Structure 1
Amino acid sequence: MSTEPDTPTAVFLGDSYTVGTATSLDGTGFPAILGDLRGWHVVNLGFPGTGYSTGQPDGRCPPAGCTSYIGVLPDAVAAQPDIIVVSGGRNDLGRPSLDEAVAAFYPELRAALPNTRVIVTSPLWDDSPTPAALVELREVVEREATAIDAEHLDLGDLFLDRPDLIAPDDLHPNEAGLELIATTIDAILPLE
């Protein structure tokens, strides 16, 4: 796919919410919608089940499994992004050394892409009450993202008590939920 010379390339790192699992947008997810809204060329490097400290060893991954976000950085650098968006974290809950994994990831991201615009969203939850552990993770993500001069976007509890935005699997956002993620980011993200 060719892009116009002035079209910014935006790389997305994330999980199943980023790739649109359980929807007709599976593989492209909310980044495709946001890319259309913003005029970005999107490279979606998200993968279901992954996170700051979590890789997913399933049939869609290489034999060694998928890597956590820090392991995807070489692919992100290879895409030569103007923008990188990090969105995820729900798969990390209950993992040991989670705070340390988040604290290690962001300086590594900035070192790998020192001149790239970095946008970080707060981790999202489904339509059930947000667990305290995710609220704590949101604070850690905001602190570490801010420490590297990333733009942190607090998306809040977009889906709380909104089963109409959740897919039949009762876990992932449906198409309307993915659109809400994209339009919320677009509404609060400053132009550059």
Structure 2
Amino acid sequence: MGNRLAKGDRRRLWAAIGASAVAVGVVIAYGVGSLTDAPQEAVVAGDLAADGTETGQHAIVPDAEKGEQPEPVVVFIGDSYTVGQNTPLEGIGFTERLSELRDWQPVNLAISGTGYAKSHEQSWCPPEGCPAYAGVIDDAVAADPDIVVVSGGRNDMWLEDQAAVATAIAEFYTQLRAAFPTERLIVTSPLWSDGPTPAVLLPIREQVAEQATRVGAEYVDLGDLFEDRPELITDDDIHPTADGLELIAESVDALLTPVATAG
């Protein structure tokens, strides 16, 4: 299953990343997948009263009993840009920052190197290989999300049969909507790095927009987010830096319906 961080952990993580000197240490200290949902209020030992009972102890009260709405569970499907490859946020990507901004509980099911049609068999993949996006729909269903976010598509441009890519995009969104008939679906445009967007990626963007809209998903057009911004791309000339991942999160947040606030 994906990686989840409690809201407080997300805030501490991103605050630490803002201080570049300690960014890597923070991620190593916490470890991907080692952060679990923390209780809203810790149990604090107090003094003993005259009758022997303990005073000053705070009970752990679930959010539901406090009258608070639980954070929506949000599944992310995507590629290395969603994974956060080659950064201190590897395995987390932009999902935690976006979730912090929108009060979501993220489950990151993204797999590096995959796409709508692209799968592969790298050494770190399970025996059956790393599936294209449709291959993680069952895992997404198992997470019982309120929202599904799909962000990727750039890896499909390397495939020779682009007609098959178009078919895969259409079939994926048909399957995704069938699996989540009433849930909110959010789709971002496929992103490129800091150079000009290759011509072969443009029709993939158009197909993703068309098919996402067809099934009633919210399409978020990020355009050429990193063009002429090499400082936001890592030394591999492919993946966004931690600052680049934050830009993705903040750009998606700005283009979605504003988060409702109390009062």
TM-score normalized with structure 1 length: 0.97
Unaligned segments of structure 2, at least 5 residues: 1-35, 39-62, 65-69
2:75 and 2:85 mapped to 1: Cα distance?
Answer: 18
Quote the offset at 1:63 in angstroms: 1.8
2:71 and 2:147 mapped to 1: Cα distance?
Answer: 11
Q: Which residue of 2 aligns with 1:92?
A: 156
1:64 and 1:72 mapped to 2: Cα distance?
Answer: 13
Q: 2:201 aligns with which of 128, 134, 137?
A: 134
Q: 2:109 aligns with which of 41, 45, 65?
A: 45
Q: Which residue of 1 aligns with 2:37?
A: 2
Q: 1:168 aligns with which of 231, 235, 240?
A: 235
Quote the offset at 1:171 in angstroms: 0.6
Q: 2:216 aligns with which of 146, 149, 153?
A: 149
Q: After the TM superposition, which residues 39-78 of structure 1 pair with which residues of structure 2 at under 5 Å, given as runs?
A: 39-78=103-142
CA-based RMSD: 1.2
Unaligned segments of structure 1, at least 5 residues: none
2:80 and 2:88 mapped to 1: Cα distance?
Answer: 13
**What per-residue deviation string (whole Å, max 9, x for no partner) do you get for residues 102-140 of structure 1?**
010001000001111000000000001101111111100
1:123 and 1:85 mapped to 2: Cα distance?
Answer: 13
Higher relative contact order (CA 8 A, sep 6+): 1
For the pair 1:19 / 2:83, whether they are aligned, the reply is: yes
2:249 and 2:184 mapped to 1: Cα distance?
Answer: 18
For the pair 1:101 / 2:136, whether they are aligned, the reply is: no
Quote the offset at 1:56 in angstroms: 2.3
TM-score normalized with structure 2 length: 0.71
- Extract structure 1 runs of 4+ deviating beyond 4 A: none
Q: Which residue of 1 aligns with 2:189?
A: 122
Say if 1:48 and 1:56, in contact at 8 Å, map to a contact too.
Answer: no
Q: 2:97 aligns with which of 33, 38, 45?
A: 33
